[in-house]
A and B are shown apart, each in its own frame.
Chain A
Amino acid sequence: MEVITRGAVITEPGNSVENKTGTWRVFKPIIHYEKCIRCLICWQFCPEPAILKIEDEKVKKETPAPKEPLKRLPVVEIDYDYCKGCGICYNECPVNAIEFVKEEK
């Protein structure tokens, strides 16, 4: 049996990561990197946060981009473990690089 901590104190910061809220999803956003201009607007507005900003040089270079100079910028990646599929990223993407499709279970 789990013992309740005194004062219901939670001692482990950010342990909600154990809840994989990706199971809530009905629609799923998919990033099409060949269109993505890496403006980070989706990352900025993600409420979870379930959009990761990847700064790794290798990933930046190897991920496709519509123009070569864009490869200097960070890459966004969706963390489907937590994405609830709200679609804000899909709605806000200025170049329609995010597709929003029905989740297949």
Chain B
Amino acid sequence: MNYENEEFFAPGHGMCAGCAAPIIVRWILKLAGPNTIVTNATGCLEVATTAYPHTSWRVPWLHIAFENAAAAAAGVEAATKAKGEKLNIIAFGGDGGTVDIGMQALSGMAERGHNVLYVLYDNEAYMNTGIQRSGATPWGAWTTTSKVGKANPIGKLRPKKPIAMIMAAHGIPYVATANPALFQDFKKKVKKALSIEGPKFLHVLSSCTTGWRHDPSKTIEIMRLATDTGLFPLYEIENGDFENMRITYKPKKFKPVEEYLKMQGRFRHLLKNPEYMEKLQKDVDNWWAKYGKYYRP
């Protein structure tokens, strides 16, 4: 059955204008259909879509604490299995609830082999509580806990945690990075993930107008640049087989990282210093020099 013309995510939610997370959720639910149960870690998505007594969800939905969306999804999966029901169990978590606080529950779910699709919508900081740095915040980004000033002209001093690689190292059937701005690729990966039995992990980039400091109308444009500059590569890894990892999209001509950075207030300070831009460009170039051979469209 195709449910693309149905909406399982209702309007009237409190997500900021221009937020990318509802686009991701809306489409994953469309592709999963009504036979779905969702668990949702604490975060923007949970807070803004279920302000009591209202909910935007048209599928069964459970609010779970910050750290255990994956554990609860595993429990739901075990229960449906015991009852002999076949449902899509999807867990949504932000980057805080996934790469930091929810990490151990997620790792446990993967190790036990539950048939769950875990979706990380990665807006690269704790946006819900007011833009604090997380393990997924990239090097050089301003946040309220990686402030930019005389003592620290860079912002966040540590690189982004490679969460997709970490999940792939668990040897689970399917891990992919996706970007809704590259829509066909995103859709294909969601469909593929839903068709596979066992634990699946999708790392989806999700722009935050408030935290990334950009005009709400530029959401998709900026996310597209993240991939077109090479900063957010799109790949998939099956069964932890890194040798057969597949980069699914490669821009015909890479854009300089500057184009991505200059559209966002959180990177504004980097533009003043060519050294920082060069460092970021080099990081990207190194990644592609190492992994570019895995481009297999």
Report whether A10 and B54 are in contact in the complex, using a CB–CB cutoff of 8 Å.
Answer: yes
B15 at the interface (CB under 8 A from A): yes
> Which chain B residues border A82 with CB–CB below 8 Å?
11-12
Interface size on B, residues (CB 8 A): 39
Report whether B7 and A88 are in contact in the complex, using a CB–CB cutoff of 8 Å.
Answer: no
Q: How far is the CA of A18 from the CA of B167 in the complex (A)?
A: 39
Interface size on A, residues (CB 8 A): 37
A16 to chain B, nearest CB (A): 4
Give the residues from 143 to 200 in chain B that come closer than 8 angstroms, CB to CB, to chain A. 180, 183
B233 to chain A, nearest CB (A): 22
> Which chain A residues border B20 with CB–CB below 8 Å?
47
Report whether A16 and B56 are in contact in the complex, using a CB–CB cutoff of 8 Å.
Answer: yes
B58 at the interface (CB under 8 A from A): yes
Residue of A nearest to B21 (CB): A47
Report whether A49 and B217 are in contact in the complex, using a CB–CB cutoff of 8 Å.
Answer: no
Contact of B18 among A4, A50, A87 (CB under 8 A): A87
> Which chain B residues border A92 with CB–CB below 8 Å?
220-221
Give the residues from 7 to 52 in chain A that come closer than 8 angstroms, CB to CB, to chain B. 8, 10, 12-21, 24, 44-50
Contact flag A47-B23 (CB < 8 Å), given A17-B10, A87-B216: yes
Q: How far is the CA of A59 from the CA of B49 in the complex (A)?
A: 32
Residue of B nearest to A89 (CB): B217
> Which chain A residues border B59 with CB–CB below 8 Å?
13
B17 at the interface (CB under 8 A from A): yes
A57 at the interface (CB under 8 A from B): no
Q: How far is the CA of A46 from the CA of B127 in the complex (A)?
A: 21
Report whether B220 and A16 are in contact in the complex, using a CB–CB cutoff of 8 Å.
Answer: no
Contact of A48 among B11, B183, B221 (CB under 8 A): B11
B251 to chain A, nearest CB (A): 18
Report whether B23 and A86 are in contact in the complex, using a CB–CB cutoff of 8 Å.
Answer: no
Which residue numbers of A lie inside 8 Å of B, CB to CB? 2, 4-5, 8, 10, 12-21, 24, 44-50, 53, 55, 79, 81-82, 84-88, 90-92, 100
Give me 20 A-to-B residue pairs in the complex whose CB atoms sit less than 8 angstroms apart, sorted by A's number: A10-B53, A14-B58, A15-B55, A16-B10, A16-B12, A16-B55, A18-B54, A46-B23, A47-B22, A47-B26, A49-B9, A53-B5, A81-B11, A82-B11, A84-B17, A86-B209, A87-B215, A88-B219, A90-B217, A92-B221
